[in-house]
Amino acid sequence: MLSDASERDADALAHAERALGLLEVDDDALRAAARLQLRGAEVDLVRFDASARREDVSPDARLEWWGARAARELRARECVRAEVPIAALNALSSARASLSARGRSLYFGALLAARVSDADAARRLSAAAGDAAREFLRRIPTELTTSARALDWVRAAEIGADSGILPEQIADVEALVRGLSQRDRLRPLLRQVVDALVLWTGVERGLCCCERRAES
């Protein structure tokens, strides 16, 4: 779609909006709506959630929609309905779909699951996204490998495979590094550190924290 090739958000939104206005087939309309959502535009969630739950809609369109829904939750200050796209992406994680649609969408789902501390979903989605990324790299022409490896979801899978670090852990580390530059917000940063430890290790939150005893 022209929306995918546009570098400027305004151009991408214009192309996606025009496509959505012209398309009547559920598959195509759902994919256009997903692109609008990825660019931050408001769309009819009730309508397109219903379309994305239909079995007769293509797996690619459904994955793209739920991936965009996960990306929408990631942009929000607070996740309101994170469980909806996470559950849908889990159900579609082994669907017969294009590798790019599956890899990118499941990558967004893994990041969202990590953000809401759903460790099991994060690991499942990370593993499936990684499998898609590695198969994607294996199949594309050699001359496109460098460009493909620059994609976020592909890069995360490669780093994870080489280091044993999951994609959502990479995102956590990047967020913590950014937080270190804001010294006036150390308390929220400390909470992020504890959240990351709980998610990565699976231990009880209480074991990562210690109570400061009052000095006598």
Span 67-125, pLDDT tens digits: 999 998 988 888 888 999 999 999 999 999 999 999 999 999 998 988 888 888 888 89
Q: Give yes or no for residue 195 having a pLDDT over 90.
A: no
Q: What is the pLDDT of residue 157?
A: 75
Output the CA torsion sign for 81, 84, 85, 87.
Answer: positive
Output the CA torsion sign for 171, 174, 98, 64.
Answer: positive
In eight-state DSSP terms, residue 142 is G
- Does the model's pTM come out above 0.85? no
CA distance linking residue 46 with residue 83, whole number of Å: 15
Average confidence score pLDDT of the chain: 75
In eight-state DSSP terms, residue 55 is T
For the chain, how far is it from start to end, CA to CA, in angstroms?
68
CB 168 within 8 A of CB 160: no
Span 11-34, pLDDT tens digits: 445 545 555 555 555 788 888 888
CA distance linking residue 177 with residue 192, whole number of Å: 11
